Structure 1
Amino acid sequence: MHKITVLAVSISSVLLTSQANAANQVADARGNAMGNTGVASADYLSAPFYNPALGSSFRDNDDFALLLPAFGASIHDSDDSLSVIDDLQASIKNYESAITPSLQQADELNGYLDQLDGNQPLRVTAGLGFAASLPSQTVSSNLFARRYIEVVAAADVADDSNVEQRYQNSHIDMLAFDYTEIGLSFAKAFTLAGEKVSFGVTPKYQQLTTYAQRVTVSDFDIENYDESEISKNAFNFDLGAVWYKDNLRTGLALKNILAQEIDAKRNGLQDTYELKPQATLAIAYTAEYFTVAVDADLTKQTRFKSLNDDTQFVRFGFEGNAWDWAQLRAGYEMDLEDTLDNSITAGIGISPFDVVSLDIAGSYAGDNQFGASANLAFTF
């Protein structure tokens, strides 16, 4: 648990001290609390993170909005691997310091290695976001930037019969992906055949960076995930559409239209991170005092090729709104690929005078699997 906290703090420090140029990892506490929905339910300020077409969904008295900052982090360690590695490293230290290691010490070492063998990879993510929106009946625009880092650590335990050779030949493979994008989103509402629709497009600049690290179990330190680096810059764009029918919205978002790949390699560890186009269909009912939303990924989201860690989510969200002064939110998220456990989400919003908004969210998917996010927004 201690190393999980250290890593989360380390990644947070990297994000907060770097430029705010900082894909489906969205640091948006409102959407995070509502099961990570947003393709049909996001507001015009957070629209480019979910669906650029929602940039035209503003009220007559909305002139300008600023999101500064939005931050989120999540941890998935379902098999408690970090605690096992902590105990294993302490056991190795005791074994190597003994003049004549005992059979009991050898059995203890083998026990920890057996516990680690076959564990699900540990995953830690953290994200940061910024947005400035200028709504307009002509064309709404939104300048935004976001960044997220995802670290995956997986154990490769040797089968040697000799305990010393076994722990010396056992490794932890760490792979990390660092993603930054900055873009300008545009949205416009139309009336077509008597129906209100809106369309949006987001041209954006991307920077993709990977890290790879293979170390023995005794030398493993999750803070050292960034000791190698491969970077790539690219241009990309998102597309979106929304159909409005009274209080009902149906949205479609196409993210990262141009597929990208980037290698990750060091010390015999080699992989490729894939950033493929992703399509999400959503429906939301937005009333004065509540909002209900459902988002469904139409495509799988890929990551590192060798890890078989694709995800494809169906998300459900609810928000109760008390006269635009306070909000209570809840949601549920299911991964159809079973890479990540289903999670429960919840959160609150405080928005006095509908000018300053503070949103806080949390998620829980079981032991050692949780997340949190917060953001501050100003609307004028």
Structure 2
Amino acid sequence: MRKTTLAVTSALTLLSLPSFAAPYAADARSHGMGNTGVVSADYLTAPLHNPALGALYRENDDIGLLIPAFGVNIHDEDDALSTVDDVQDLYDSIQGLPTPADEAAMNRLLDQLDSSMPIVINGGLTFAIAIPTRFMSMNLFSAGYVEILAAPDISDATNTAERYLNSAVNLAAFGSAEYGVSLSRTYTLGGQTVAFGLTPKYQQLKTYTQRTTLDDFDIEDYDKSEVSKNAFNMDVGIAWYHEAFRAGLSVKDVFKQDIKTKLGSYTYELTPQATVGIGYVSNYVALSLDADLTTQKRFKELDDDTQFVRIGIEGDAWGWAQLRAGYEIDLENNLDNSVTGGIGISPFDVVSLDLAGSYAGDNQFGAAANLAFTF
């Protein structure tokens, strides 16, 4: 009973920390441009940002393959992951016979963990096949996202070995997988060219909460105490364009979903997310500004909302190479502002390799990569 109570209390403490980040699209081009995409994404990555953009393709585009897009963000402000590795290695090396110097070193590492901020890691993976046509553009895609939060809970025992063995790490995680088809088409309305898009999708949602000893801790063992839920959802979008000027609106997850955690009785909410974008997209330069119209909810009981304003720019050297930069601001002040940058290489307009990175302070960084083929 004591262990169960302790685990529940630890889960409550862990989830009360405002460190969860909003799910993001695993797209290196977008990542390099401040995670914009409502009007600047291409037809291949349209389902990740705005399904209407699937209808905005070039005359020579017949089919596109994204295999895959991958992204990861790490928020480890106090380098706690390295400290955990160090204290585990030190304990293993002394084999239960510590010298005074060993005990001092171990207590120093445990003190560092005791005062460290939680570790947050999130990542995504996307695959897509796009077939654009003037009758109806179609994009088949699958996308996965996971977010892991770990917070050390260090014992106050006076004996060094007991302090280490009685210390723990509290883990919480949210994961989702989506499988869908994005449909889009362009219309002329009142002399204006407008694209509409719709993405019906099947979702698998999961939450995890657990408490593990510091000695047994491994960040990859997050998927314990699983609670899962399957759901149907939908994204919708609209995009207006005239020459290189664009404006658009995207609404992700039209149908609200929620899923509880196994420990702590917390509820994770996946709420509709509306984002408006304006931009300029030409053969040589792209400028984009996205603004969330709604806050992104997550745990219902906590103040962990986010609402972003993003700006991005891309320079294109004759379709062969690209240079990108961007900036991302959380209006709710739960996440640090982030600077982003990236490059792209696209020889012969057949193979595209995109790389991107982001920085938001010490040990707070992200990276993304795309490999795509267009024919």
Place the TM-score, normalised by the shorter chain, in its bin: 0.7 to 0.9
Cα distance, 1:318 vs structure 2: 0.8
Please tell me the root mean square deviation across aligned C-alpha atoms, in Å: 2.6
Other-structure match for 2:16: none
Any conservation in 2 of the 1:255–1:279 contact (CA below 8 Å)?
A: yes
Cα distance, 1:148 vs structure 2: 1.8
For residues 226-375 of structure 1, the aligned pairs below 5 Å read 226-265=223-262, 271-305=266-300, 308-375=303-370
Corresponding letter in the other structure for 1:355: V
Corresponding letter in the other structure for 1:280: T
Cα distance, 1:32 vs structure 2: 1.1
Aligned to 2:261, what secondary structure does the other structure show?
strand
Cα distance, 1:271 vs structure 2: 3.5
Say whether residues 1:85 and 2:70 are aligned partners: no
Match for residue 172 of structure 2 among 171, 175, 182: 175
Structure 1 regions of 5+ residues with no counterpart?
1-22
Measure the CA separation in 1 of the matches of 2:40 and 2:156: 51
Measure the CA separation in 2 of the matches of 1:161 and 1:274: 42
Match for residue 123 of structure 1 among 120, 124, 134: 120
Cα distance, 1:187 vs structure 2: 1.2
Aligned length: 354
Any conservation in 2 of the 1:212–1:270 contact (CA below 8 Å)?
A: no
Query: TM-score w.r.t. structure 1 length?
Result: 0.84
Corresponding letter in the other structure for 1:151: I
Aligned to 1:310, what secondary structure does the other structure show?
coil
Match for residue 376 of structure 1 among 360, 371, 374: 371
Measure the CA separation in 1 of the matches of 2:74 and 2:223: 18
Other-structure match for 1:75: 74
For residues 12-31 of structure 1, the aligned pairs below 5 Å read 24-31=23-30
Query: TM-score w.r.t. structure 2 length?
Result: 0.85
Say whether residues 1:143 and 2:132 are aligned partners: no
Moved more, 304-313 or 49-58: 304-313
Cα distance, 1:264 vs structure 2: 2.5
Measure the CA separation in 2 of the matches of 1:115 and 1:305: 31
Structure 1 156/244 Cα, relative in aligned 2: closer, same or farther at 3 Å? same
Cα distance, 1:335 vs structure 2: 2.1
Any conservation in 2 of the 1:133–1:143 contact (CA below 8 Å)?
A: yes
Cα distance, 1:225 vs structure 2: 1.3
Corresponding letter in the other structure for 1:54: L
Structure 1 159/272 Cα, relative in aligned 2: closer, same or farther at 3 Å? farther
Measure the CA separation in 1 of the matches of 2:301 and 2:359: 27
Measure the CA separation in 2 of the matches of 1:85 and 1:274: 31
Any conservation in 2 of the 1:327–1:349 contact (CA below 8 Å)?
A: yes
Measure the CA separation in 2 of the matches of 1:319 and 1:252: 21
Moved more, 137-146 or 43-52: 137-146
Deviations 1:147-196 (A, max 9, x none): 12211112334566777776555431111222110111111222222222
Structure 1 125/282 Cα, relative in aligned 2: closer, same or farther at 3 Å? same
Other-structure match for 2:18: none
Cα distance, 1:256 vs structure 2: 0.6
Moved more, 323-332 or 299-308: 299-308
Cα distance, 1:93 vs structure 2: 6.1
Structure 1 261/165 Cα, relative in aligned 2: closer, same or farther at 3 Å? farther
Deviations 1:240-277 (A, max 9, x none): 11122332211111101111112222xx5553322111
Other-structure match for 2:47: 48
Aligned to 1:222, what secondary structure does the other structure show?
coil
Measure the CA separation in 2 of the matches of 1:68 and 1:286: 24
Cα distance, 1:28 vs structure 2: 1.2
Deviations 1:52-80 (A, max 9, x none): 11111112222222212212222111121
Any conservation in 1 of the 2:255–2:272 contact (CA below 8 Å)?
A: yes
Measure the CA separation in 2 of the matches of 1:120 and 1:311: 19
Any conservation in 2 of the 1:173–1:269 contact (CA below 8 Å)?
A: no
Cα distance, 1:319 vs structure 2: 0.7
Percent of aligned pairs with the same amino acid: 57
Match for residue 221 of structure 2 among 221, 224, 227: 224
Corresponding letter in the other structure for 2:184: A
Corresponding letter in the other structure for 1:343: S
Other-structure match for 1:198: 195
Cα distance, 1:132 vs structure 2: 1.3
Corresponding letter in the other structure for 2:34: G
Measure the CA separation in 2 of the matches of 1:92 and 1:270: 35
Aligned to 2:348, what secondary structure does the other structure show?
helix
Measure the CA separation in 2 of the matches of 1:243 and 1:168: 60
Measure the CA separation in 2 of the matches of 1:54 and 1:247: 14
Other-structure match for 1:207: 204
Moved more, 46-55 or 121-130: 121-130
Measure the CA separation in 2 of the matches of 1:339 and 1:88: 30
Cα distance, 1:96 vs structure 2: 8.5
Measure the CA separation in 1 of the matches of 2:123 and 2:200: 24
Cα distance, 1:42 vs structure 2: 0.4
Any conservation in 1 of the 2:23–2:145 contact (CA below 8 Å)?
A: no
Measure the CA separation in 2 of the matches of 1:155 and 1:306: 22
Corresponding letter in the other structure for 2:51: P
Any conservation in 2 of the 1:214–1:269 contact (CA below 8 Å)?
A: no
Corresponding letter in the other structure for 1:63: D
